[in-house]
Amino acid sequence: MADPILECRGVSKHFGAVQALYKVDFEVRPGEVMALVGDNGAGKSTLIKGIAGIYPFDEGQILFEGKPVKIHGPKDSSDLGIEVVYQDLALADNLDVVANMFLGREKVQNGFVIDEANMERTARETLTGLSVTTLQSVRQVVAGLSGGQRQSVAVAKAVMWNSKVVILDEPTAALGVAQTRQVLDLVKRLADQDLAVVIISHNLHDIFEVADRITSLRLGQTVDLFQTSEVTQQDVVHSITAGRMKYVPGMEQEEETA
Amino acid sequence: MAGKPPSAVDTRAQVDSDLGIEKREFRLLEWMADRGIFVFTTALVLVAALFIDGFASLANITDVFNRAAPIGIVAVGMTFVVISANYLDLSVVAQVATAAVVLIAVSNASSIPAAMALAFLIALAYGLVNGVAVGVFKANAVIVTLSTTFIGLGILRWLTGGSIYFGPPEGPIRSFGTTKIGPFPLSMIVLVLITIALSLVLTRTNFGFLVKSYGSNREATRLAGVNTAWVVVGAFILSALGAMLGGFVLAAFSNTAVSAMSTGFDFRALAAIIVGGTSVFGGKGSVMRTLLGVVFVSVLTNIMVLSGLGFGYQQMAIGALIVAAVSVDSLARKAAVT
Ligand SMILES: Nc1ncnc2c1ncn2[C@@H]1O[C@H](COP(=O)(O)OP(=O)(O)OP(=O)(O)O)[C@@H](O)[C@H]1O
Ligand SMILES: [Mg+2]
């Protein structure tokens, strides 16, 4: 089995008095879909924002392709090949599909002139490569797209940069049945192309359909790491709501001796 | 399932379709926000030409252009600030007056190139101070530029004592201010050239692209790894350079300069920008639209002047125009949200 491409070891993060993450271990391998589950506020978004460089972890280590790395900002993580599709859909409504896919990383000629033709071609190729075929035009403004189309554009954007790890924070939360189908198929295709995919979701049905493994977080701690084929939804629900925590909340320095 | 309310998904889908219905009712507003300026400007010019005595004369047209040019040059620069979702640059009032006074006073005392160089440095300083306060320190643009207006005008009044500076009756400044090509004063040609140049910057360069991205979705642009402070500083520097050139043109037109000469430039420029269809919410707009907006505002003002309506009426009209344009923009935006 492949070695993990991305690994977090003992990462912690607090916001004021809130210990959002405490000594969390997490990993994902190439070609695998890793689900990250947990109740509201369990720390899922915090974990991926730390990996993405939105804010630094207080302690712990991030390893990429086996080597320890320092991630100081979004640029560092995307340079490594880590792309995140955020929960709140980081798309710019007024801009068209192409402009969104290149947001902040436009192709330029002669140093500063936008290379529209090249951008449009690359965007179209990426969308076609992912079999995203429901878009009428890549020159359409994003505000007019359906939720599923928007999510597909956001995913395609993440994939376009030769990324190795794609992280999706609740990609299907705001979608209807058919659109969820679209996105889940897309997620499977990413893993087939040997990308490492992390998917955060509250929907266990979706997770059992696409994920190879499941990491469950509870109150900021890793409680379980499952092989999806070996567990039932019931097991996962139990882990999310009542999983055994390694450290006592509020007394983070001492290990529980149960 | 996971103990999550499954209804979360359903409710959001519901909201989507609700808004879809609303969208149809508001089509007219969207149309006005988007296309209105083309129709309104054409209609206004036609009405003026047909019904207002003295509008269609060569002398009057030249006069409209002469008055439109300085405000237009300020407005096309300020368009970048508006598109970056930072509302407006109030300090153009201080900047225009400063550039005008520097051009006349310093070239009297020394030379025109020296005057222009000094004005350029001052413009850079304005752009940097405004841009850093807003882009790096995340201060509100309205408060920041209101403050730099006070500081700038304060310094100018302190240095000049409020006195009026006159340019020499002969010389490059005077001849720039009086030369015409057909009905077009040179200042109008400068405005058109600057509009074309800035339009290319906005639509063809990565900087312009980022100003739109940033104005459209700040967070997404930051998350993409963009140095967003630089984008804001750039927008305020363009606004400052526009204000400087606007000040030059204004000084050349009257061959005089005084600290009080640019009163109202802030709101006239804003009126031109948003009447043109650039959104006060940022992310959407164009420099060409601002040029059309300038024509609209200038012709409207001219009609009022020719009809004998005084400055008070003109101010009321500009104010009403801004309220109307901003309201249409807001309503259209609400209707377009999906
Ligand atoms: N920027 C922040 N400032 C302060 N507290 C924060 C911040 N971000 C997250 N938190 C807190 O950290 C904890 C973990 O939040 P996080 O968003 O990671 O949860 P989550 O697992 O993604 O939940 P959800 O399922 O609701 O998205 C919560 O208690 C939250 O209130
Ligand atoms: Mg979350």
Q: What residues in A contact B226, CB-CB < 8 Å?
A: 103-104
Q: Smallest Cβ distance to B219: which of A90, A144, A203?
A: A90
Q: Does the residue A136 lie in any domain?
A: no
Looking up residue A175, the CATH number of its domain turns out to be: 3.40.50.300
Q: What residues in B contact A144, CB-CB < 8 Å?
A: 338
**Other residues' Cβ atoms within 10 Å of the Cβ of residue A124:** 17
8 A C-beta contact, residue B97 and residue B247? yes
Number of domains in chain A: 1
| Residue A164 belongs to domain spanning | 6-89+142-242
Q: Does the residue A126 lie in any domain?
A: no
Q: What residues in B contact A148, CB-CB < 8 Å?
A: none
**A94 pLDDT above the threshold of 90:** no
- Weakest-pLDDT range from B33-37, B214-218, B265-269: B33-37
Q: Which two tokens stand for residue B128?
A: 């940097």
| Domain residue spans of chain B | 37-331
**Other residues' Cβ atoms within 10 Å of the Cβ of residue B139:** 15
Give the residue whose CA is nearest to atom 18 of ligand 1: A43
A137: left (phi over 0), alpha (psi -120 to 50) or beta: beta
Cα–Cα distance list, B273 to A23, A108, B44, B280, B296 (Å):
53, 28, 17, 9, 10
Q: Smallest Cβ distance to A75: which of B208, B225, B338?
A: B225
Q: Does the residue A247 lie in any domain?
A: no
- Weakest-pLDDT range from A32-46, B23-37, B140-154, B287-301: B23-37
Q: Could you give phi then psi for residue A156, rounded to 5 degrees? A: -60, -40
Cα–Cα distance list, A81 to A66, A70, A167 (Å):
14, 14, 11
Atom number, ligand 1, closest to the C-alpha of residue A21: 14
pLDDT for residue A162 = 83
Residues within 6 Å of ligand 1 by CB: A 15, 18, 20, 38, 40-46
pTM of the model: 0.84
Give the residue whose CA is nearest to atom 3 of ligand 1: A15
The alpha-helical segments, DSSP class H, found in chain B are 7-25, 27-51, 58-83, 92-109, 112-131, 141-160, 172-178, 186-204, 206-216, 218-223, 228-254, 265-275, 287-306, 311-336
Rounded Cα distance between A97 and B270, Å, is: 30
Q: Does the residue A97 lie in any domain?
A: no
Residues A245, A249, A251, A253, CA torsion sign: positive
Residue B4 banded pLDDT, cuts 50, 70, 90: very low
Residue B230 banded pLDDT, cuts 50, 70, 90: very high
Percent of chain A with pLDDT over 70: 95
Q: Smallest Cβ distance to B3: which of A74, A112, A237?
A: A237
Cα–Cα distance list, A256 to A38, A150, A247, B324 (Å):
21, 45, 5, 65
pLDDT for residue B182 = 85
Give the residue whose CA is nearest to atom 27 of ligand 1: A40
DSSP state of B261: T
